[in-house]
Every structure is written in C-alpha cells, then in structure tokens.
Amino acid sequence: MNKLSLYTTKNYSLNFDIKKRKPKQIKFLIFHYTGMKNEKNSIDRLLGYKSKVSCHYFIKSNGKILTIVPDLYVAWHAGISSWKNYKFLNKNSIGIEINNPGHNFKYKKFSKKQINSIIKLSKLLIKKYNIKNSNVLGHSDIAPDRKKDPGEKFPWKYLSKNNIGFWHDLASSYLLNKRNIKINNIEKKKFIKNLCKIGYPMNKNIKSNKYSKMITKAFQRRFRQELINGIIDQECLIISKNLTKKLNKFS
C-alpha cells in the first residue's frame, strides 16, 4: 500500500454533482456530525435520493471509514456557507461526517477510534490536495447561523497537535483568568473584526446583537469549548487576537 492510501468501505450515495472537478479545486476540509440517534439511519439518509444530502467520508462509531462520494465529485454537505471570499463551499471542499447524535439527542464525546480515523484520513487528504491548515473547518464555522456541528466536543486542540487545522498558542491557565471578564464596546467591535479576518462569515446584520451572539457562539464552539454562552469576554478577545496574528504569518 502506498502512503497516500487508506482502507475505506465503498458505500456510494446518489447525491452528488455529475460534473467531475479538478483536484486543485479542493481547498477545504469540513467536519460534521450526523446529529441522528441511529448510525444506520444516518448512513441511509446520506445515500438515498430523498434527502439530497451526502458527504465524501463517513466515520462510524467503531472508527470504520466509508467512502460515500469519491473526492473528485462534489458532495452535498455544506449548504449555504461561506469562509473568507469563498461561498457555497461544496464545490471546493471535502466533507467528513462523523457519527454522533449531536446537540438534539444527547451530544456525546467522539470515540477514540473515531478520532484516530479522523487523524489518519485528514492527514492523507491534507497531503494529497495540499489543503492549508487554515482551511480545515467545522460546519458551524462556515454556516454559523444554521449549524452547531461538529460542536464543542470535537477535539480541535488535539488535532492541531497532529498538524490538522489551527489553534491558538496561549496557556490555558492564563486564559482561565480572563474568562467572564467584561470588555467594553470598542473591544467587542475589535473581536468581531478579528473573526472577520479569521474568515468567519459576515453580513449586513453584523451590527445586530443577535448576529454577534450567534457568531460568538460559533467561535466558542471551536476555540473556547469549555463555555459556550455567546458573550464576548476578555478570554474570547485574546484568543481571537492570537489567531489573527498566527494566521497572518501563515499567509
């Protein structure tokens, strides 16, 4: 077996664009959870006509990986979404669904076997398509108004230690002292600006409290997983600053 191959079971979906894409169009890796109680039902949903949804890979609770749509066909997993200047990310991404009942049905920790498979598969795809670590994202990052997946139990920090995705480089003890400490309105604006620089979708409602709360929650699910309250505090601001600087260095 060569280095860029990994054993997966083929279990193809009917839901994909007929037109094949070029490997260089693949720029993003997007993680999801299934959000359903039952694993088999989630797989069936991704395969059948009616749902109009699919993904490229499915990671079962026992760590087994299914290929649902081959990489060079566009799968239907992201929906209305954006990141930086990219819109409707299906055409530029690979979607990975991970079995987990999600927030509506007793959200669970991802299993060790799932995490090991996520690491193996991601490493392979990142290398094969030359995907930037800053383009490894969750569904809630690119569609924060609609989605919570893969959620605050997704091991982003651990993945970043394995060179998958990105994380800040601040000590948790330092950050804990900044948690729940209020900031002023200018600092709040600064935070939202940082999120925009990182890549989070911004729109005309950017100044509304509702939008700010929603985008803050998406940020917290990703980078401050211990407390998801939609309130911008000093800890959130500091993390956003650190990430902005780090990502600037990358590009």
The region of 24-32, 43-51, 176-184, 214-222 touching Zn ion under the rule CB under 5 A is 24-32
Q: Which of 206, 15, 217 is nearest to 103 (CA)?
A: 217
- Which residues inside 119-148 make contact with Zn ion, applying CB under 5 A? 139
Shortest separation between residue 178's beta carbon and Zn ion, angstroms: 31
Q: Six-digit token pair at 176?
A: 């804990």
Q: Which of 208, 242, 241, 212 is nearest to 229 (CA)?
A: 212
What does the alpha-carbon distance between residue 88 and residue 93 come to, in Å, rounded to a whole number?
10
Cβ atoms of residues 251 and 134 within 8 Å: yes
Site string for Zn ion, 84-123 (x = CB under 5 A): ----------------------------------------
Distance of CA 154 to CAs 24, 114, 203, 239, Å? Answer: 28, 11, 27, 18
How many residues at the interface with Zn ion, by CB under 5 A? 3
Q: Is 32 in the site for Zn ion (CB under 5 A)?
A: yes
Residues with a known catalytic role: 97
- Rank residues 143 and 159 by Cβ distance to Zn ion and give the closer one: 143
Q: Which of 149, 152, 233, 235 binds Zn ion (CB under 5 A)?
A: 149
Shortest separation between residue 147's beta carbon and Zn ion, angstroms: 5
β-strand 57-59 against 65-67: which pairing, if any? antiparallel
The residues of the shown chain that bind Zn ion, judged by CB under 5 A, are 32, 139, 149
